Amino acid sequence: MQRFTAACAQFAITPMDAAANAEKAVVWTRRAVEESGAQLICLPETVTTGFVPDVGPHALWDLVDTIPGRLSEPLQRAAQALGVYVVFPSYARGAERGIVYNAAALIGPTGDVLGIYHKTHLFPTERLISTAEPCQTSACGWSTPGNDPVVIHTPLASIGLAICYDGDFPELFRAMAIMGAEVICRPTMLTRSFEIWELTNRARAYDNHVYMVGCNGVGPDAGGNYYFGHSMIVDPIAHKLAQGRGTEEVVFAELNPDPIKFMTYGTKTPMVFDHLADRNLAAYRNIMTPAKSRFEPGKRGA
């Protein structure tokens, strides 16, 4: 991994105006580079539409595109012109109409799409429910899950991709760390509390000794949610290097390529542990067993 600056471009998305949002993503990517000199820029989840659509999966499929495609191309051109890496999160078309993935693509400084991740842990309300007739609203969900963690090895760093609710599932982040991730970007439109946002970013960074670059949007979506921003960058010993406010702005920090030599920041006490190397693998025999909480939630997702 090189020493470099990572940035979150935290801005409000115009609900369901995909073309306008694609252009706004370009404007904010340029602004992030101008303000911080960042070489890696992460944008908010579902940056082309907002998280909750006001249509069903078939109409959403019509609105968005494949990646690469017409919505990613403006940002691909900008990444090439600026010579930077950009995480572009968007709903993306699957092979059949009505199959829509909550996706995040890493665009490289050549303008090429280097890898695409499909969100593996869908929030219960977005998870597509099979119905006899095509659903015309978002009431029966709209996203189809992916099944594969993604880590892209670049000259800058080995970069893992996760999306929002994924951050509640430590196993996914451990899988990416085992695959060699040094930096994990987490584009988000979080509908829960700031405390959960901070906790999960810091815990996943510390669990796996990785940098977390968490970009949370601000403003409304078509489902009546309002997002609170507070994008943050966390280092591999759970220290917040940067945190945004609840408004449109760029959040950035320089990432040190040798970050776990000391037990905590501001001391010379040496780090004597490695959470990956110190695992007792025999203790995880049942990790793939289906389960549910012993406590019943207010409403269990399908």
CATH number at residue 169: 3.60.110.10
Q: How many domains does the chain have?
A: 1
Grouping H, G, I as helix, E, B as strand and the rest as coil, residue 168 is helix
| Residue 128 maps to a domain | yes
| Residue 57 maps to a domain | yes
**CA separation for the pair 168, 298 (Å, rounded):** 18
Predicted confidence (pLDDT) per residue in 235-284, tens digit: 999 999 999 999 999 999 999 999 999 999 899 999 999 999 999 999 99
Mean pLDDT, rounded, for 224-235: 97
| Residue 302 maps to a domain | no
Q: Which domain holds residue 27?
A: 4-257
| Residue 83 maps to a domain | yes
Q: Tell me 130's DSSP state.
A: P
Q: Are strands 158-161 and 151-153 parallel, antiparallel or unpaired?
A: antiparallel
| Residue 267 maps to a domain | no
Mean pLDDT, rounded, for 271-298: 94
Per-residue pLDDT band for 220 (boundaries 50, 70, 90) equals very high
Q: Are strands 151-153 and 113-118 parallel, antiparallel or unpaired?
A: unpaired
Helices 170-178/194-208 angle, 10° precision: 30
* Distance (Å) of CA 138 to CA 60, 125, 134, 149: 9, 9, 11, 26
Predicted confidence (pLDDT) per residue in 114-132, tens digit: 999 999 999 999 999 876 6
What is the chain's percent helix, strand, coil content, to nearest 5? 25, 25, 50
User: Which DSSP string corresponds to 4-48?
Assistant: EEEEEEE-B--TT-HHHHHHHHHHHHHHHHHHH--SEEE--TTTT
* % of the chain at pLDDT higher than 90: 94
Helices (H) and strands (E) in the chain, counts: 5, 14
Grouping H, G, I as helix, E, B as strand and the rest as coil, residue 295 is coil
Predicted confidence (pLDDT) per residue in 135-184, tens digit: 888 889 999 999 999 999 999 999 999 999 999 999 999 999 999 999 99
| Residue 124 maps to a domain | yes
Please name the amino acid found at residue 200.
T
Long-range contacts formed by 279-283: CB under 8 A, 24+ apart: none
Instruction: Say whether pTM exceeds 0.75.
Output: yes
| Residue 177 maps to a domain | yes
Find the angle CA(95)-CA(99)-CA(103) to the nearest 5 degrees: 90
What is the predicted pLDDT for the residue at 299? 82
* Distance (Å) of CA 71 to CA 20, 43, 98, 157: 10, 14, 18, 26
| Residue 296 maps to a domain | no
Q: Are strands 40-42 and 4-10 parallel, antiparallel or unpaired?
A: parallel
What is the predicted pLDDT for the residue at 255? 98
Q: Is the pLDDT confidence value at 97 over 90?
A: yes
